[in-house]
Structure 1
Amino acid sequence: MLIILAFIILFHVAAAILLFVATIHNRWWVVSPAGRDVIYADLWYSCNSTCYPVENSHTADAAYLQAVQATMILATIFCCVSFFVFILQLFRLQQGERFIFTSIIQLLASLCVMIAASIYTAQKKSFHVPSLQEGSYGSSYVLAWISFPMTLIGGLMYLVLRKRK
């Protein structure tokens, strides 16, 4: 049982780290124009040698970008909260009970990641100025999609897991 518990904790921590990196790191969109510096764009900034805020990110035209920002932050918060709830329930639950509350919070994190990555996929062209539209997805975008099944599997593991001696 101790090995399973260690695996679950490591799996959850790995999912949280992926969410943090995907939310913070500036590699959601990569543009490499011929003969110039590579430009990296994330949810907040576009960077080449210097960083500048995403154009019109504070306006109603960028509502899609704001939705992606909000859901990625929510996913990260939900993942961290579910870990702390799991640790609390580990010591508070009676033997034989399930980690339902932890599972619900982790599944909400999974849903938020899926929503954020799906919105970004569907609306990526409207996020960036015309000079940045000819690019490709970056590593943070890929990490967001990888963290989706990890948080989903983690939530399902907590749903099935019973507290044993």
Structure 2
Amino acid sequence: MLVLLAFIIIFHITSAALLFVATIDNAWWVGEEFFADIWRVCINNTNCTEINDTFTGYSMLQAVQATMILSTILCCVAFLIFVLQLFRLKQGERFVLTSIIQLMSCLCVMIAAAIYTDRREDLHKENPNFYRLISDGTYGYSFILAWVAFAFTFVSGLMYLILRKRK
């Protein structure tokens, strides 16, 4: 049982780390001379432009930013609640609250990545100064990590739903 508990804790911490990296790092859309994320666009590694309200499509990026931050916070809260429930729940009870919060984190990450996937091309077309420079890019590792974090948080949420506290 101790090995299972250690695996669940490591799996949850890995999920949180993936969410932190996907939210913070600047590699959602990359190319040879640029990289862009939900916070800024950098050309030639020196010319970085913060994405603000003058950027066309800013509301879409704000939605992605908000849901990624919310998913990271929910994942951390779920871990804290898991630790509290580990010592407070009676034997045989399930970690339902932890599961619900972790599945909400999963939903937030899915929403953020789906919005970015759907609206990325429109965002670049609406900003012609950047579009000609960054149109020939690919999805970066932060974007891929967001989808991997979605899978990890989903599996983690299901594990908590099934898991019972045993001796």
Would you say same fold, with TM above 0.5?
yes
Partner of 1:35: none
2:38 matches 1:43: yes
* Partner SS state of residue 84, structure 2: helix
The one of 97, 103, 121 aligned to 2:99: 103
Partner of 1:130: 131
CA-CA distance at 1:159 after TM superposition: 0.2
Once residues 36 and 88 of structure 2 are traced to their aligned partners in structure 1, the CA distance between those partners, rounded to angstroms, is 44
TM-score, normalised to structure 2, is 0.90
2:36 matches 1:67: no
Correspondences of 1:11-22 after superposition (within 5 Å):
11-22=11-22
Structure 2 stretches of 5 or more lacking a match? 125-129
CA-CA distance at 1:58 after TM superposition: 1.9
Q: Which amino acid aligns with 1:96?
A: G
The one of 81, 84, 88 aligned to 1:92: 88
TM-score, normalised to structure 1, is 0.91
The number of equivalent residue pairs is: 158
RMSD: 1.3
CA-CA distance at 1:133 after TM superposition: 2.5
1:125-146 CA-partner distances (Å, limit 9, x unpaired): 2333313222110000000011
Q: Percent identity?
A: 59
CA-CA distance at 1:46 after TM superposition: 1.3
* Partner SS state of residue 98, structure 1: coil
2:52 matches 1:52: no
1:33-91 CA-partner distances (Å, limit 9, x unpaired): xxxxx21101111123222213xx32573211111010000000000000000000000
Once residues 139 and 57 of structure 2 are traced to their aligned partners in structure 1, the CA distance between those partners, rounded to angstroms, is 22
Once residues 102 and 49 of structure 1 are traced to their aligned partners in structure 2, the CA distance between those partners, rounded to angstroms, is 41
Q: Which amino acid aligns with 1:153?
A: V
* Partner SS state of residue 57, structure 2: helix
Once residues 147 and 61 of structure 1 are traced to their aligned partners in structure 2, the CA distance between those partners, rounded to angstroms, is 25
* Partner SS state of residue 126, structure 1: helix
* Partner SS state of residue 41, structure 2: strand
